Amino acid sequence: MSVGQLVTSSPKAVPAYSAVTRRRSRNPRAPYLFLLPFFAINLVFFLYPLIYATVLAFYQTNGPARRAYVGWGNFAFILRDPDFHKALWNTTIFAIFSIGLQLPLSLGLAMLLNSKNDKFKSLFRLAIFAPNLVGQVFVGIMFSILFMPRYGLFNRGLQSLIGWGLEEQWLGDPKLVMPAIIIAAMWMYVGFNMIYFLAALQNVDQSLVEAATIDGAGPTSIFWNVTVPAIAPVATFVVVTSTIGSYQLFELPYNLLQNNGAGYGPSNSGMTIVGYLYQNAFANGDLGTGAAVGWVLTFIILIISIIQIRIAGKVGSET
Amino acid sequence: MNFLHLFLIFLAAIFLALWFFSRSAALKYGRFAILLLVATVMLMPFAWLVCSAFKSIDAMDRYTFLPPPSQISCDNLNLDNFRSLLEKQPTLSGPVTFWRYVANSLFLASTTTVVSLFFCSLGGYALAKYRFRGRNAVMVYMLSSMAIPAVVLLAPNFEVIWRLGWMDTYKALIIPGAVSAFGIFLFRQAMLNVPNELLEAARIDGCNEFKIYLTLIMPLVRPMSGAFCLISFMGSWNAFLPPNIFLQSQSKLPLPVILNQYMGTYVQHYGIFLAGTLLAVIPPAILFFSLQREFISGLTSGAVKQ
């Protein structure tokens, strides 16, 4: 009888409805039918490819049609390839900066925005969130011009602010490529994460803040003892999802650097892990190596996420 | 010392002066000033994009934004960038205009949105309002499938699409994206709030299960549908990697792939692809402004308990 039975919030409290439910014969297949599209598509484009990726990773392929078994060869090749080391290094740097620099900025902006009866609040929120309307591709295209030596808006702004940077080749100098990517990503995502922190800050118990203020707690102490525990779950969520997102960075640098090193920057200074996957699997046609890179990346992301969630759990249980 | 420095010093001076009279007024002002500066910095690239799309190549290098009012003329501010952008261009599949790519993008994004709105809400309805054998297993499966990064599927999916014979067709882009665990969960969250008594009443009136979904549930979760449509539309509109991999004919390409191409073609006349970028940014912006509130609540509903 449990099959197809309606979920009622408290079946005992409304006996009349449950009785009706039992008497009327409903189609018990309905929920399965409603989920059928998901399962059909998931099977063909998720579960099968996921399993198949494990097989493919052990083959060297030339396009989808030709292949040869190479055992652990793909993994050995990737782990020894200096390009992959470069990609891993760049992506890790990017992830560290997006968590260490961008998230505190997002939180700071959210705290500045989070005050009651402010008619400008929604306007500021909209302005800071606006870059998210634009996809990574378009952000990359815009910043490729904004970073132009001498003429770019960014270079000119920097020059008039700190007297340096007018002639810098942000996209041509291997030392400056990663900072340029980090700056462009910051412009794009600072507002996105701010929205999450803003929603979390609305969960902070105002009576607790008032009580702490009456007890003589300063703003710093209130921040660490009231605000941080209240936003901890959302902060964990934001840190984990930004790490996952950072490790999958591709479209932004690929478009930003389209005219500098064919999308990867001079001497691969802007190469990311997904960029490396794209280059091997689709530019060079070796899907096997692509699948192997995919698994290595999944493994990295999984390990880092687990560590982050563990740390968050420990910190959470202490406070 | 320049205008920018003077302006910043001026802002700081006001803060100090206010601090002398009233601390809370100074803090309020400081908060406002910082937000205003940040908002200006965030909006500046957009202002620059709009200006650049209309500037001639000489004016582009000479002026950061617009020429001073006394210098404005048809020589430095005109529609030439758009004219060159919208010209017919010879390709392997015949002459194609830029509007064709706009139409491709609009078609792909709206089809994906409508199809995934239907399938995701249907799945969400099943998980929110039925108790059936295997429901918990389905939920666990969906949640864990969301933890797998999409890039691991890129290479094997390429082969799946190739074997299905879907290369260079829109099917390759629309069908794999037609339903997602993420979307199903969004709708499940929204539909949990619909009272069961309402469904029971409809059943007594003789509604079948699908009709309940269509005429009762869907109107009640309209805000979530709005948010989902926007997320889905923008995701498809801005997608670069899948169309770049699966599509080959020039006349089928959507805007992100085309503008990436144009970066190489018009490297000397970047006003042209900036004009294209401006056109590409407008449709999602219009959608966003009309659905802003729903969008933000939809984004955060996964992370924050309301």
User: Residue ranges of the domains in chain B?
Assistant: 3-78, 94-301
Residues with pLDDT less than 70, chain A: 1-26, 116-118, 316, 318-319
Q: Any long-range contacts for A118-122 (C-beta under 8 Å, 24+ apart)?
A: A120/B32, A120/B35
**Residue B298 in this model has a pLDDT that exceeds 60:** yes
Residues 70-89 of B with CB under 8 A from A: none
**Dihedral of the CA atoms B189, B193, B195, B198 (nearest 10)?**
-70
Does B205 reach chain A within 8 Å, measured CB to CB? no
pLDDT band for position B129 (cuts 50, 70, 90): confident
Nearest-Cα distance to chain A for B246, in Å, is 10
The CATH number, out of the four listed (2.40.160.20, 3.30.70.270, 3.30.379.10, 1.10.3720.10), of the domain defined by the range B94-301: 1.10.3720.10
Going from the C-alpha of B221 to that of each of B213, B214, B224, B297, the distances in angstroms are 11, 11, 6, 13
| Measured distance CA(B285)–CA(A24) in Å, rounded | 49
CA B235 to chain centre: 5
Sign of the torsion formed by the C-alpha atoms of A250, A91, B40 and A109: positive
- The per-residue pLDDT for B305 is 47
ipTM of the complex: 0.84
Q: Which amino acid appears at position B257 of this protein? A: V
| Measured distance CA(B269)–CA(B82) in Å, rounded | 12
- The per-residue pLDDT for B209 is 85
Closest partner residue to B159 (CB to CB) among A44, A157, A287 is A287
Contact between A287 and B159 (Cβ < 8 Å): yes
| Domain assignments of chain A as residue spans, ordered by start | 15-56, 75-318
- The per-residue pLDDT for B299 is 67
- The per-residue pLDDT for A183 is 92
Does A187 reach chain B within 8 Å, measured CB to CB? yes
Q: For testing the chain B interface, which of A46, A141, A183, A278 should be mutated: the one with the most B CBs within 10 Å?
A: A141
Does B286 reach chain A within 8 Å, measured CB to CB? no
Closest partner residue to B45 (CB to CB) among A8, A146, A254 is A146
Nearest-Cα distance to chain B for A266, in Å, is 16
Closest partner residue to B260 (CB to CB) among A31, A137, A297 is A137
CATH hierarchy code of domain A75-318: 1.10.3720.10
Q: Which amino acid appears at position B18 of this protein? A: L
- The per-residue pLDDT for B302 is 56
Higher pLDDT, B104 or A67: B104
- What is the residue-averaged pLDDT of chain B? 85
- The per-residue pLDDT for A224 is 87
Kindly give, in sequence order, each residue whose CB lies less than 8 Å from that of residue B111, ignoring residues fewer than 6 positions away: B170, B174
pLDDT 10s digits, B233-270: 988 999 998 999 899 888 888 999 988 888 877 777 88
**CB–CB contacts below 8 A, A to B:** 278
Higher pLDDT, B65 or A11: B65
- The per-residue pLDDT for B1 is 65
pLDDT 10s digits, B172-206: 999 998 898 888 988 888 888 888 888 888 888 88
Higher pLDDT, A236 or B59: A236
* Cα A233-A235-A239 angle, rounded to 5 deg: 120
- The per-residue pLDDT for A116 is 64
Does A32 reach chain B within 8 Å, measured CB to CB? yes
| Whole-prediction pTM | 0.84
**Residue B90 pairs with which residues in a beta bridge?**
B95
- The per-residue pLDDT for B87 is 80
Q: Where are the beta strands (DSSP E) in B82-122?
A: 89-91, 94-96
Contact between B225 and A121 (Cβ < 8 Å): no
- The region, left, alpha or beta by phi > 0 then psi within -120 to 50, assigned to residue A197 is alpha
pLDDT 10s digits, B262-277: 887 777 788 888 888 8
Per CB-CB distance under 8 Å, the chain A contacts of B274 are 141-142, 145
Question: Which of A317, A243, A276 lies closest to A77, judged by CA?
Answer: A276
